[in-house]
């Protein structure tokens, strides 16, 4: 690689590409740590209310559609695979593969969001399970069930927001890749976007059992 | 000069025109779009000072009101808004950002021999986020104010008050992200951008404490952010997240709030402690006694501060078992704090101490922080706190730490590095005078509040029984002295910008990479990456050079 | 300057990881339909932890990362535990002193907090 090329690829505060790469990846991991604590506040509240209001949480959970939850889990796992393959393609400098995998990842992300909103949220809203907007459930433990649904909406909502951001990032990466912004040895953005994407996947991996599987389904 | 390979910069070039970060570019755009950490520090200096003034005006109005037992100037409703504005602005918009974003931004890259922070554009983004948050808070003040206290306790904030809680909570939420990004930037910078040879144990202690504070930013701020989201949701939809009538638990809010809240108070004081370590070393001309202990105590504080939050909730109805745990952990956190105090004091011993203005602040810090910390141990005792909770004793406790400690440290740091930031010297006489006035004003303001609290005067009331009037007037009188002390630097520091004599690269004859480059520093801090070959504060090895010119 | 390429994983590994993750998903869904009592939750969470670890180790390359990055992950998990465990421990021990005879396994606060019409105050 020539000197000029080197200069354009390394920001001026860094000495070399290795330092830049390490800083970017450390930065992303630290950011994900803040995300863990960000979701953590909700997970802690969820845990405590689940402990306090177990009967209502169980009833609320049983109003959710396990099959959609499981399907969406699978969708996200598939998207994680394609994301990992996208990073791999970037590592090897196979830009065409990279673009392909990014597009597939984006599509999986959109499928997830479609299922989440159009299949699930809409359904729960119509069933009268949306606290503050349309909550008509009047069976046993109504307030507890409402509390569960609050956490369901806040947790999945926040997660969906992260998915939307993720889809935005995917789109940006695709455009950048099309413009030839990535090359072998220069793919930091892809790698750290991948970290973000997998993290969002992990959040869902926990949300699925915590929201859909309370008390089992037997 | 032992620690740097290039000394060319230090030639006195007084007459020659030298390009540095301040005159490299001109115009408002060159400031608002800058990614230079030194200029961003200035952006923060101006904006946090602005917030400090607002918070100070609110405080002045409160103190004025408390001159009379019936409340001299405002209605109780207004008084509630005043202390909310004061607390929120001082904590979220002045003190939390002040030392990290002004001194930290300016100094971290310089102290570690880097050209900039790891993510300069992110750094600028943090400032814009901060300003957005601040403006939203100002909006809620102008729109009618908030009266929940800076703590936003539920269900008061979610179900009862009808003031501008949502916008205020939004402001806190957004400011959290600014802090998170700053903390992230610093952590990565300190890990990845150190100059060759600058190992962890050669770092100035300011870096250690900034690192610890950044850790707290990263780990605590997200929790307050999400908690504010819950408060906003609860207020918008009244779904009962914190409403006991609907199955919510207000104490859960307190847990989430103080999980952030107590570490937050250490965000305020840790960076100031770092400043004090620098000042004590520079003005005693000695390496800080027990360097490793002081460094690691910052980490101990950062970790322990996450295990004590329930000491704010002893009388909230929290489990007594939790109370016992939190009480014990709170007392434990006093240990690393004391380690620092003892080590600073030991550094003074046999040091050749001189009393320039920054040192006066540092000495003030040590005394006042000690009192603040020790009264913290009082409050951490389960039984005593039942009596002292929510009284003026608590007010005095945390003001001794946050104003007597953190603000003193900030002022000291500002005076110490002002010549580096501006290239100019301020009049030392006036600076010393201001430091003394601040100290006297401070003790007069908050000293009586310990007694008031011990006699049982609760905090957050606009009125009080007449027998408390004497001490209240004393406190208000002290506050006016304090105000004079804070306004003075505004004048002589601004004056020095134009009329101050040239500072030269190292007016204090201090050690540290930041003193080995010109003042004001060049755009990229160092003309050549420095190589570090010795530990920090190596005063013994090289008797204090007053001018570092290599001629 | 040498080209900067972080560790490249074999494609086969990724596909294998993917299959394992899908199996775990099927497993956790399936187990929910078997009555294991309290262990339903334990199993579901254990599987989730396994899945998350696999994602972190393989997809996020933690296996080949610097020590520092592993430390960051450890810190995140540890602090999450602090938050959850300590705040939960308050709720778990809150009523014992005032009601020493309280049956400890019961979800205590039904009495204290839930005012929904369907709940009776004495179980
Ligand atoms: C030496 C260690 C410390 C101990 C043991 C300690 C202990 C306490 C305790 C027990 C309380 C609660 C009192 C009550 O509300 O009844 C308290 C309040 C407070 N402390 Fe400390 N503290 C310490 C250090 C600090 C530091 C370093 C700061 C700030 C930089 C600080 C700032 C505060 C604040 C702001 C409050 C009041 C918050 C409010 O209710 O608005 N403390 N402290
Ligand atoms: Cu505290």
* Section B523-547 average pLDDT: 77
- Facing C4 at nearest CB: one of A17, A40, A206: A17
DSSP string, B164-212: SHHHHHHHHHHHHHHHHHHHHHHHHHHHH-PPTT--GGGS-HHHHHHHH
Specify the higher pLDDT residue, B326 or B544.
Answer: B326
pLDDT digits (tens, 9 = 90+) for B29-76: 999 999 999 999 999 999 999 999 999 999 999 999 999 999 999 999
Structure tokens at B453: 């609290």
Is B405 a residue whose pLDDT tops 80? Answer: yes
Ligand 1, from B224, B311, B337, B453: best to mutate by most atoms within 8 Å of Cβ?
B311
Instruction: Give domain status of residue A8, yes or no.
Output: no
- Please report how the helices A17-52 and B165-192 are oriented relative to each other, as an axis angle in degrees rounded to 10: 140
Instruction: Give domain status of residue A53, yes or no.
Output: yes
Greatest CA span in chain A, whole angstroms?
A: 72
Q: Please tell me the residue having the least CA distance from ligand 1 atom 22.
A: B376
3-state secondary structure (DSSP) of residue C47: helix
User: Which of ligand 1's atoms lies nearest the C-alpha of B402?
Assistant: 30
Q: How far is CA B60 from CA B67, B263, B369, in A?
A: 11, 27, 23
Specify the higher pLDDT residue, A181 or B546.
Answer: A181
Residue pair B357/B428 in contact (Cβ under 8 Å)? The answer is: yes
Task: Provide CB contacts within 8 A for B491, sequence distance 6+.
Answer: none
User: Which of ligand 1's atoms lies nearest the C-alpha of B373?
Assistant: 1
Residue pair C32/A193 in contact (Cβ under 8 Å)? The answer is: no
d(CA A88, CA A71): 26
**% of chain B beyond a pLDDT of 70:** 95
Tell me the Ramachandran region of residue A100: left when phi exceeds 0, alpha when psi lies from -120 to 50, beta otherwise: alpha
Structure tokens at A131: 């606290």
Q: Please tell me the residue having the least CA distance from ligand 1 atom 12.
A: B312
pTM for the full predicted model? 0.92
Domain count, chain A: 1
Contact between C91 and A52 using a beta-carbon 8 Å cutoff? yes
d(CA B261, CA B264): 5
Query: So what's the pLDDT on residue C106?
Result: 45
3-state secondary structure (DSSP) of residue A130: strand
Query: So what's the pLDDT on residue B48?
Result: 97
Task: Provide CB contacts within 8 A for B141, sequence distance 6+.
Answer: B81, B85
Interface test with C, best of A81, A98, A100, A182 (most C CBs within 10 A): A81
What are the pLDDT tens digits along chain C (123 aa)? 344 557 888 999 999 999 999 999 999 999 999 999 889 999 999 999 999 999 999 999 999 998 999 999 999 999 999 999 999 999 988 865 555 554 444 444 444 444 444 333 333
Residue pair A14/A21 in contact (Cβ under 8 Å)? The answer is: no
Is A98 a residue whose pLDDT tops 80? Answer: yes
Burial class (CB in 10 A: 0-12, 13-18, 19+), B455: middle
d(CA B484, CA B434): 8
Q: In whole numbers, what is the pLDDT of chain A averaged over residues?
A: 93
- Neighbouring chains of B at 3+ CB pairs under 8 Å are A, C
* Residue pointed to by tokens 């060759």: B196
* Section A179-208 average pLDDT: 94
Instruction: Give domain status of residue A6, yes or no.
Output: no
C115 touches chain B (CB under 8 A): yes
d(CA B251, CA A90): 49
pLDDT digits (tens, 9 = 90+) for B95-135: 999 999 999 999 999 999 999 999 999 999 999 999 999 99
Structure tokens at A145: 């069930």
Instruction: Give domain status of residue A19, yes or no.
Output: no
- Facing C87 at nearest CB: one of B246, B248, B255: B255
Contact between C48 and A206 using a beta-carbon 8 Å cutoff? yes
3-state secondary structure (DSSP) of residue A183: strand
Structure tokens at B23: 């005159």
In this structure, the number of other CB atoms found within 10 A of the CB of residue B200 comes to 12
Query: So what's the pLDDT on residue C103?
Result: 46
Nearest CA in chain B to C99: B319
Residue pair B172/B228 in contact (Cβ under 8 Å)? The answer is: yes
- Residues measured by CB to lie within 5 Å of ligand 2, the ion: B 262
Question: Domain residue spans in chain C?
Answer: 8-60, 66-93
Kindly state the DSSP code that residue C37 receives in the 8-state scheme: T
* Residue pointed to by tokens 């909406």: A153
3-state secondary structure (DSSP) of residue B458: strand
Query: So what's the pLDDT on residue A15?
Result: 86
Note the Cα B263 to chain centre separation in Å.
13
> Is the shortest distance between the CB of B311 and ligand 1 below 6 Å?
yes
* Section B509-527 average pLDDT: 92
DSSP string, B308-370: -GGGG-TTTT--HHHHHHHHHHHHHHHHHHHHHHHHHHHHHTTS-----HHHHHHHHHHHHHH
Contact between B248 and C113 using a beta-carbon 8 Å cutoff? yes
Query: So what's the pLDDT on residue C96?
Result: 55
C89 touches chain B (CB under 8 A): yes
B246 touches chain A (CB under 8 A): yes
Residue pair B366/B348 in contact (Cβ under 8 Å)? The answer is: no
Residue pair C65/C13 in contact (Cβ under 8 Å)? The answer is: no
Query: So what's the pLDDT on residue B138?
Result: 97
Domain spanning B2-11+35-549, CATH class: mainly alpha
Tell how far the Cα of B309 is from the centroid of ligand 2, in angstroms. Answer: 6
Kindly state the DSSP code that residue A134 receives in the 8-state scheme: E
Contact between A26 and B191 using a beta-carbon 8 Å cutoff? yes
Structure tokens at C119: 């709940």
Ligand 1, from B332, B379, B383: best to mutate by most atoms within 8 Å of Cβ?
B379
Q: Please tell me the residue having the least CA distance from ligand 1 atom 16.
A: B389
User: Which of ligand 1's atoms lies nearest the C-alpha of B389?
Assistant: 16
Note the Cα A163 to chain centre separation in Å.
5
Is B526 a residue whose pLDDT tops 50? Answer: yes
> Is the shortest distance between the CB of B328 and ligand 1 below 6 Å?
no
C5 touches chain B (CB under 8 A): no
Query: So what's the pLDDT on residue C6?
Result: 74
pLDDT band at A197, cuts 50/70/90? Answer: very high
Tell how far the Cα of B364 is from the centroid of ligand 1, in angstroms. Answer: 19
- Facing C32 at nearest CB: one of A194, A206, A213: A213
* Section A62-90 average pLDDT: 96
d(CA B491, CA B489): 5
Task: Provide CB contacts within 8 A for A52, sequence distance 6+.
Answer: B247, B249, C91, C107, C108, C109, C110, C113, C114
pLDDT band at A217, cuts 50/70/90? Answer: confident
d(CA A99, CA A170): 10
In this structure, the number of other CB atoms found within 10 A of the CB of residue B484 comes to 12
Ligand 1, from B397, B450, B458: best to mutate by most atoms within 8 Å of Cβ?
B397
Query: So what's the pLDDT on residue C38?
Result: 85
* Section B332-356 average pLDDT: 93
| Of the candidates B228, C18, C65, the residue with the CA atom closest to the CA atom of residue A28 | C65
Is B8 a residue whose pLDDT tops 60? Answer: no
* Section A133-146 average pLDDT: 91
The answer to which of B134-138, B183-187, B298-302, B528-532 has the lowest mean pLDDT is: B528-532
| List of chain C residues whose C-beta atoms are within 8 Å of the C-beta of residue B252 | 87
Mode of pairing for the β-strands spanning A129-130 and A134-135: antiparallel
Query: So what's the pLDDT on residue A186?
Result: 87
- Closest-approaching ligand to the CA atom of B268: 1
Question: Domain residue spans in chain B?
Answer: 2-11+35-549
> Is the shortest distance between the CB of B385 and ligand 1 below 6 Å?
yes
Tell how far the Cα of B310 is from the centroid of ligand 1, in angstroms. Answer: 11
ipTM: 0.94
Q: Please tell me the residue having the least CA distance from ligand 1 atom 14.
A: B389
| List of chain C residues whose C-beta atoms are within 8 Å of the C-beta of residue A195 | 60
> Is the shortest distance between the CB of B334 and ligand 1 below 6 Å?
yes
Residue pair B37/B106 in contact (Cβ under 8 Å)? The answer is: yes
Ramachandran angles phi, psi of B390, nearest 5° = 55, 30
The range of the structural domain enclosing residue A106 comes to: 36-212
pLDDT band at A8, cuts 50/70/90? Answer: low
Inter-chain CB pairs, A–C, below 8 Å:
184
d(CA B98, CA B108): 14
Q: How far is CA B64 from CA A154, B69, B94, B455, in A?
A: 44, 11, 22, 21
> Is the shortest distance between the CB of B394 and ligand 1 below 6 Å?
yes
Interface test with B, best of C90, C99, C116 (most B CBs within 10 A): C90
Interface test with B, best of A38, A48, A154, A155 (most B CBs within 10 A): A38
| List of chain C residues whose C-beta atoms are within 8 Å of the C-beta of residue B307 | 82, 86
Is B16 a residue whose pLDDT tops 80? Answer: no
> Is the shortest distance between the CB of B173 and ligand 1 below 6 Å?
no
* Section B11-35 average pLDDT: 81
Interface test with B, best of A45, A131, A161 (most B CBs within 10 A): A45
pLDDT band at B390, cuts 50/70/90? Answer: very high
| List of chain C residues whose C-beta atoms are within 8 Å of the C-beta of residue A86 | none
CATH assignment of the domain containing A122: 1.20.120.80
Structure tokens at B11: 């030639």
Residue pair B478/B445 in contact (Cβ under 8 Å)? The answer is: yes
| List of chain A residues whose C-beta atoms are within 8 Å of the C-beta of residue C83 | 37, 40-41, 44
Specify the higher pLDDT residue, B482 or B243.
Answer: B482
The answer to which of B46-55, B412-421, B524-533 has the lowest mean pLDDT is: B524-533
A-side interface with B, Cβ within 8 Å? Answer: 11-15, 19, 22-23, 26-27, 30-31, 33-42, 44-45, 48-49, 52-53, 56, 131-133, 143-144, 146-147, 150, 154, 158
Instruction: Give domain status of residue A207, yes or no.
Output: yes
């Amino acid at each position: 690689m020539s000197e000029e090329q080197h200069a354009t690829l390394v920001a001026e505060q860094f000495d070399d590409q290795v330092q830049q790469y390490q800083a970017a990846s450390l930065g992303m991991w630290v950011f994900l740590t803040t995300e863990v604590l960000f979701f953590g506040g909700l997970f802690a509240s969820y845990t405590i209310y689940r402990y306090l209001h177990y009967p209502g949480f169980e009833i609320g959970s049983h109003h959710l559609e396990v099959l959609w939850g499981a399907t969406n889990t699978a969708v996200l796992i598939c998207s994680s695979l394609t994301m990992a393959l996208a990073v791999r393609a970037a590592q090897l400098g196979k830009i065409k593969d990279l673009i392909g995998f990014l597009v597939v990842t984006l599509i999986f992300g959109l499928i997830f969001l479609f299922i989440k909103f159009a299949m699930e949220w809409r359904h729960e809203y119509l069933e009268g399970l949306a606290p503050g907007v349309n909550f008509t459930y009047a069976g046993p433990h109504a307030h507890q069930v409402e509390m569960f649904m609050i956490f369901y909406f806040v947790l999945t909502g926040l997660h969906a927001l992260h998915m939307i951001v993720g889809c935005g990032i995917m789109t940006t990466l695709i455009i950048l890749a099309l413009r030839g912004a990535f090359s072998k040895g220069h793919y930091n953005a892809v790698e750290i976007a991948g970290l973000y994407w997998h993290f969002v996947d992990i959040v869902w991996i926990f949300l699925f059992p915590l929201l859909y599987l309370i008390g089992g389904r037997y | 000069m032992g620690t740097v390979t290039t000394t060319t910069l230090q030639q006195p070039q007084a007459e020659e025109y030298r390009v540095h970060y301040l005159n490299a570019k001109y115009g408002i755009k060159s400031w608002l779009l800058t990614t230079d950490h030194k200029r961003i520090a200035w952006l923060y200096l101006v904006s946090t000072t602005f917030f400090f003034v607002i918070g100070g005006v609110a405080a002045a109005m409160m103190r004025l009101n408390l001159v009379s037992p019936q409340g001299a100037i405002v209605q109780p409703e207004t008084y509630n808004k005043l202390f909310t504005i004061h607390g929120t602005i001082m904590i979220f918009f002045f003190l939390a950002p002040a030392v990290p974003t002004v001194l930290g931004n300016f100094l971290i890259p310089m102290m570690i021999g880097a050209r900039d922070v790891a993510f300069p554009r992110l750094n600028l983004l943090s400032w814009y986020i901060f300003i957005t948050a601040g403006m939203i808070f100002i909006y809620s003040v102008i729109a009618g104010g908030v009266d929940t206290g800076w703590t936003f306790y539920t269900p008061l904030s979610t179900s009862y008050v009808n003031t501008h809680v949502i916008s205020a909570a939004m402001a806190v939420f957004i400011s959290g992200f600014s802090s998170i990004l700053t903390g992230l930037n610093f952590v990565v910078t300190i890990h990845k951008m150190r100059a060759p040879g600058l190992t962890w144990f050669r770092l100035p202690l300011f870096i250690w404490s900034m690192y610890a504070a950044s850790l707290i930013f990263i780990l605590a701020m997200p929790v307050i952010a999400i908690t504010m989201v819950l408060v906003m949701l609860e207020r918008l939809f009244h779904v009962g997240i914190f409403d006991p009538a609907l199955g919510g638990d207000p104490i859960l809010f307190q847990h989430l709030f103080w999980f952030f809240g107590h570490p937050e108070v250490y965000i305020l004081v840790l960076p100031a402690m770092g400043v004090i370590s620098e000042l004590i070393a520079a003005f005693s001309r000695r390496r800080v006694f027990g360097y490793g202990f002081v460094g690691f105590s910052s980490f101990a504080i950062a970790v322990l501060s996450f295990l004590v939050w329930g000491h704010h909730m002893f009388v909230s109805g929290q489990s007594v078992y939790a109370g016992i745990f939190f009480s014990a952990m709170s007392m434990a956190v006093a240990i690393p704090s004391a380690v620092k105090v003892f080590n600073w004091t030991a550094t003074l011993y046999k040091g050749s101490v001189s009393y320039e203005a920054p040192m006066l602040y540092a000495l003030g810090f040590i005394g006042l922080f000690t009192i603040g910390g020790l009264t913290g141990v009082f409050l951490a005792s389960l039984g005593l706190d039942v009596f002292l909770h929510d009284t003026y004793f608590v007010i005095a406790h945390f003001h001794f730490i946050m104003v007597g400690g953190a603000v003193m440290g900030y002022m000291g740091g500002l005076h110490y590095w002002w010549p580096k930031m501006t290239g100019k010297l301020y009049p030392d006489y006036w600076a010393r005078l201001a430091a003394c006035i601040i100290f006297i004003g401070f003790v007069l303001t908050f000293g009586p509040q310990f007694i008031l609290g011990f006699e049982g005067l609760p905090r957050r009331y606009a009125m009080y029984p007449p027998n408390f009037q004497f001490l209240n007037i004393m406190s208000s009188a002290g506050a006016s002295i304090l105000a004079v002390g804070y306004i003075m630097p505004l004048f002589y520091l601004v004056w020095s910008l134009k009329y101050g004599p040239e500072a030269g690269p190292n007016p204090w004859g201090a050690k540290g990479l930041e003193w080995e480059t010109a003042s004001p520093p060049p755009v990229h801090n160092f003309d050549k990456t420095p190589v570090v070959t010795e530990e920090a504060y190596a005063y013994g090895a090289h008797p204090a050079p007053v001018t570092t010119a290599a001629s | 300057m040498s080209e900067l390429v972080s560790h490249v994983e074999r494609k086969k590994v990724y596909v294998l990881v993917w299959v394992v993750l899908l199996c775990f998903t099927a497993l956790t869904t399936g187990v929910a339909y078997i009555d294991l009592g309290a262990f339903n939750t334990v199993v579901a969470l254990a599987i989730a932890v396994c899945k998350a670890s696999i994602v972190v180790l393989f997809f996020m390359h933690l296996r080949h990362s610097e020590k520092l990055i592993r430390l960051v992950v450890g810190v995140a998990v540890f602090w999450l535990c602090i938050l959850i465990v300590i705040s939960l421990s308050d709720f778990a021990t809150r009523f014992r002193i005032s009601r020493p005879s309280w049956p400890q396994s019961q979800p205590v606060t039904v009495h204290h907090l839930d005012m929904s019409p369907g709940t009776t105050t004495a179980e």
